[in-house]
Amino acid sequence: MNIQVNTDHNIKGSAELNNYIETSLAESFARFKVAITRIEVHLSDENAGKTGSNDKRCLLEARISHHQPIVVSHHADTIHQAIDAASDKLLRALDNMAGKLTDRTGPKDLLVETQTENDEEE
C-alpha cells in the first residue's frame, strides 16, 4: 500500500506531518493492505491562511484493486483532526464495501484478509 501526500500552497508540508499520516493510515488500514494499492491524501486550507472554524480539509482517495476508488473528505479546525476524521470515514466506507461483497458463504473478494490455517488451529 502506497501513501501519497499532497498539500496546497497554504499548508506547509513537513516530514513530521508525512510521518504522522503514513503511520496513522498504515495502522488504520492494515487489514485492507492486500486490496488497497494506493491512498492519496489531499490537504488544503479553505480560507487561505485566515483564521476560521472548519477551514482545514482532508480528502482521502483509496485506490482499490479491481474496484472503483473510494473518496471521502472532512473539514475540521486542525489538519490532524481532519486527517483522523477522514480516516474514520474511509474505514467505514471500506467496511461497508467489504460487507456488500460478502455473501452468506464467505468473502467474494480479497478486501478482508482471511485467517490462515495456523491461526485457526490455535
Quote the CA–CA distance of 47 and 75 in Å, as a whole number: 12
Least confident of 28-32, 36-40, 109-113: 109-113
Per residue in 37-91, pLDDT tens? Answer: 999 999 998 887 677 777 899 999 999 888 899 999 999 988 999 999 999 999 9
**Average pLDDT of the segment spanning 87-109:** 77
* CB atoms closer than 10 angstroms to residue 76: 18
pTM (2 decimals)?
0.77
Q: Give the torsion sign (CA, 81, 82, 83, 85).
A: positive
Can you name the CATH fold of 1-15+28-47+55-76?
Double Stranded RNA Binding Domain (3.30.160)
Quote the CA–CA distance of 29 and 73 in Å, as a whole number: 16
